[in-house]
Every structure is written in C-alpha cells, then in structure tokens.
Amino acid sequence: MSKNLRGFFSIAPTTSVPAEGADGGDLFVIFRWYNSFFSSSSAARACHGFWHNAALVLPAALFIAYLGFQAKRNIKKLGHGRAYVMIAYYVLLWFAALLNLAWSCLQAWQCAPGKDVAWNLLSLFTASGMLCLEIGIVAFLLQDNYVSGLETLAYTFMVSGIFVGVDVLFKVMCIFGFGVPIFIDVEITHRGKWAIWVAYKLLLSAVYGYILFVHYSKWKDKLPPKPAFYNYAIVLFIFNAIALCACGFAGIGAGIGLWLYNFTVVLYHSFYLPFLYVTFLADFFQEEDWLMDNAYYSEMKDAGFFDSEWD
C-alpha cells in the first residue's frame, strides 16, 4: 500500500502531508478535510466537531417541533379511534425522540473526563427506545394492520420487550463488565467493539433480507400485503448492509470504515424516527382523516345535498 494512502486507510491518520501531485494525495486531503471540519480534539480523545453535532441536533430538534405541532390533532384522533397499539407507539415515539435529542445535544460527554458512565447510560436508553420501535413495528405489521385490541398490544410489546431486554443485558455486560466501548464513537482501536457491531448489523441485515426474500418469493402470501412495510424493509436492509461493511472495514483498521460508520450513525439518529413516523404513523392519521371524510360524504349524500348535481 502506498505511504501516501496511509492517512486514509489507517486507524490513526498520519500528520505528514503528501507531496503535491503524489498518487493518493487527493484522497488524503479529503480525509484530512473531513477530520478537521467534523472533528475536534481534546486532551482525553479525539472528539466530534461542531458540524457533526449540528447534523444530529438539528433534525432531532425539528422532528420534536413537528411532533409538538401535530400533537393536539394526533392525540384527538388517537383518543377517538381507541387504537391502543398506535397510542402506545405514539407515546414510545415521543419518548425515543426526546432521548435522541438529549443524546444528540450531549455528544461532548464522549470526550469529557468522568462522563463515561453517564454517556453509556444515556446511549443505552436511547438505543433501547429506538430498537423497541424498530422491533415492535415489525411484530405489529406482521399482524392485522392497525388492530386496536389489548391482546395485540400485549403480544407486540412482549415480543419487542424480550428482544430489547436481552439486548440491554448483553450491552450492560459488555460495557460495564468487560469494558467494551460500544457507544464511544471516537474509540477506534478496540476490536471487540467492532466485532459486536458486525454481529448486530449482520443480524439486522439478515432479518430484513429474509423479509424481502419471502416477499418476492412464492411464499409472499404468508406476509401481509403492505407496500409501505416492504419499502421500509428495503431501506433498512440497504442501510444495515452499508453499516455492516463500515464496521468490518473499521475492525480491520481502515480509516474509511470509521468514517462510513460515523456517517451511518448520523443518518440513523437523524432520520430513522422521522422515516418511521412518515411511513407508518402518518399514514394511520391520514387514513383516519380519509375515513372521516368518507363518513361525512355519506351522511351528506343521504341527506340529499348532492341531488342537485344530477338535475
């Protein structure tokens, strides 16, 4: 490998600047530009910079503002429809969104001495809330769409609760028992961390890949015919496949893998919750509006308001 590419592909980029016009110099400059623009340094460890944090905070804050703007109308519709499952997911969405905003605003805790425990706990709660939504939405949509029974609610949260509980227990053991810095994004040398993330991304890729395989096979009738669900599965499969490659490259010491991993973290925390809301919850609210409009139209038609159109 060329010495000029060492800063791009190694875990610790070199500080020397390659000669002008040398092979690989452009890649080196791009990587150094990214580090200087999106990262800062501290005495303890390299830390994310202003633009990285802004890319997390701004979408999270805008999504909270949007939820707040729509809250009155959405709560009224949820209360009117008595859709217990959707009510539970709406509450959980608010909980995860608030935790995600706090996580985005407190990125500096990764670099602050003595904040490791607080950062790991905040990251653990945030990741668990988002994972509960991710697993629960799959379990929910594999049943009848928008079922409002309490039995469905219990089953859905039992499935997601079991998976999330096992996930939390495993991560607690890794972080506080074995000292694996799972949630320290700026920690780049611990191979155990990358092995864990490779396993996680491989599992998630396999789950979404299996769903897509069944959907496009002769057994597709075993899954519900919900196009939005499969568009969601396609996006999540591609995302987790890219994250899997990033973790694999980072695990073997490639700096581009670390850059790509951090990029996927920003994408997930910035856009996953809005994407989930737009794909599922927003459709539920819009569908309820459509049903109400049809009901009003039927009532007006029965009352003879449209008879004049046929005269």
Q: Residue 258's pLDDT band (boundaries 50, 70, 90)? A: confident
Angle at the Cα of 276 from the Cα atoms of 273 and 279, rounded to 5 degrees:
150
Give the pLDDT of residue 4. Answer: 40
Q: Within a 10 A sphere around the Cβ of 123, how many other Cβ atoms?
A: 21
**Gyration radius of the chain over CA positions:** 24
Work out the average pLDDT over 8-27.
42
Q: Distances in Å between the alpha carbon of 94 and those of 29, 147, 159, 267, 303? A: 41, 21, 20, 19, 42
DSSP assignment, residue 211?
A: H
Lowest mean pLDDT among 140-144, 217-221, 238-242: 140-144
Higher local confidence (pLDDT), 209 or 38:
209
Give the pLDDT of residue 86. Answer: 80
In the predicted model, what is the mean pLDDT of the chain? 76
CA distance 273 to 264: 14
Model's pTM, two decimal places? 0.76
Higher local confidence (pLDDT), 268 or 257:
268
Work out the average pLDDT over 89-94.
91
Q: Which two tokens stand for residue 39?
A: 């990262």
Q: CB burial class (10 A; 0-12, 13-18, 19+) of residue 85?
A: buried
